[in-house]
Amino acid sequence: MTIRHLAIIGLGLLGGSIGLAVTARGLAVTTAGWDRDPAVRQRAAERGLVGTVHETAEAAVQGADLVILCVPVGAMADAARAIAPGLAPHAIVSDVGSSKAAVAEALAEALPGATVIPAHPVAGTEQSGPDAGFATLFAGRWCIITPPDACDPAALEALSAFWTALGSRVELMDAAHHDLVLAVTSHIPHLIAYTIVGTASDLEDVTQSEVIKYSAGGFRDFTRIAASDPVMWRDVFLTNRGAVLEMLGRFTEDLTALQRAIRSGDGDTLFDLFTRTRAIRRAVIEQGQDDERPDFGRVNK
Ligand code: NAP
């Protein structure tokens, strides 16, 4: 099975980046798209995020071999219901949602009988909307595909080949395992960033201007993460509740252990942990998952 025509539902950061990457990489794939927001549709057409922008979801998916839902995870079921009347019988329906078990369930329920193969490109930024997308977003990044048990091998092969053609490295994973892994690598870090930035801005004996003025001391990197889209992240925590709470329990225990070490002046425990975490950072850079330049390659003005 070959993907010749792609429909993208939701033309923000992820949807726009997929459309731009298809064009930039010269794939033999035509693209169509729809977003529920007319202003986003207009901007998507101006930026050429997809070949044709349609007025309805039903029209956008006509004749598509692959439909990718690029909406917040809480909106996946609505988007799936909107495409149902226009879906070709052979079409593969996939998504880019950041949590997988809940999305798989919502899509299977909304599209009975359709070929649904959920996926999650582990690539993004804190920006959102139709101006945020860029063609190289997926280059060298992992795309985790979570096929259901009775997945059609030809459809899975076609979806894997599509993401590989966009420059991604593809990994297959069980949806529940994906949710546990991403809880620790992405969801909890976002929760910590939201917390620390919220705590700092609520402190009565530190003024707002001091928080901003001295933000270079580590806080600045948290503010970047804490600027991520509120709708997207609200939905991630609501749909990956079990795995997030499980990992949060582990995190809280480790934090308590550090608190104890600081209180009792146990420098060895602190030093050992900080040495181990430094090695993880080196591994992230060695595997090409971040910029090795100091300060994440930022140009300081
Ligand atoms: P985004 O830039 O906000 O784009 C989402 C677009 O979908 C918005 O234009 C939104 O319109 C539209 N939309 C919402 N509900 C819809 C519906 N029912 N039907 C049609 N369009 C609808 O968000 P994004 O960052 O691309 O995220 C999209 C998905 O990718 C999410 O599931 C997220 O978990 C996943 N993801 C994000 C990242 C990241 O770093 N951002 C990384 C990997 C995966 P409105 O503005 O009107 O709501």
Q: DSSP alpha helices (H): ranges in the chain?
A: 13-24, 38-47, 57-60, 76-83, 101-110, 153-165, 175-182, 188-202, 208-213, 219-225, 230-239, 241-263, 267-286
User: 73 CB under 6 A from ligand 1?
Assistant: yes
Predicted confidence (pLDDT) at residue 301 exceeds the cutoff of 70: no
- Residue 212: how many CB atoms within 10 A of its CB? 13
Per-residue model confidence (pLDDT) at position 296:
62
In angstroms, what is the span from residue 4 Cα to ligand 1's centroid?
Answer: 24
Per-residue model confidence (pLDDT) at position 141:
96
Task: Name the residue of 8, 14, 41, 69 whose CB sits within 8 Å of the most ligand 1 atoms, as the mutation to test its pocket.
Answer: 14
* Separation of alpha carbons 232 and 283, rounded Å: 29
Phi, psi of 29 (to 5 degrees): -135, 125
Q: How confident is the model over 114-142, as pLDDT tens digits?
A: 999 999 999 999 999 999 999 999 999 99
Q: Which amino acid is at 33?
A: G
Report which listed range, 67-76, 202-211, 222-231, is most confident: 67-76
Q: What average pLDDT score do residues 37-62 get?
A: 98
User: Tokens at residue 209, please?
Assistant: 């201007």
Predicted confidence (pLDDT) at residue 153 exceeds the cutoff of 50: yes
Q: How confident is the model over 173-215, as pLDDT tens digits?
A: 999 999 999 999 999 999 999 999 998 888 877 777 888 887 7
User: 21 CB under 6 A from ligand 1?
Assistant: no
User: 81 CB under 6 A from ligand 1?
Assistant: no
The answer, as to whether pTM is greater than 0.75, is yes
Return the higher-pLDDT residue of 86 and 217: 86
Predicted confidence (pLDDT) at residue 218 exceeds the cutoff of 90: no
Domains present along the chain, CATH in parentheses = 5-173 (3.40.50.720), 177-265 (1.10.3660.10)
* Separation of alpha carbons 151 and 123, rounded Å: 25
Ligand 1 atom closest to Cα of residue 103: 32
User: 75 CB under 6 A from ligand 1?
Assistant: yes
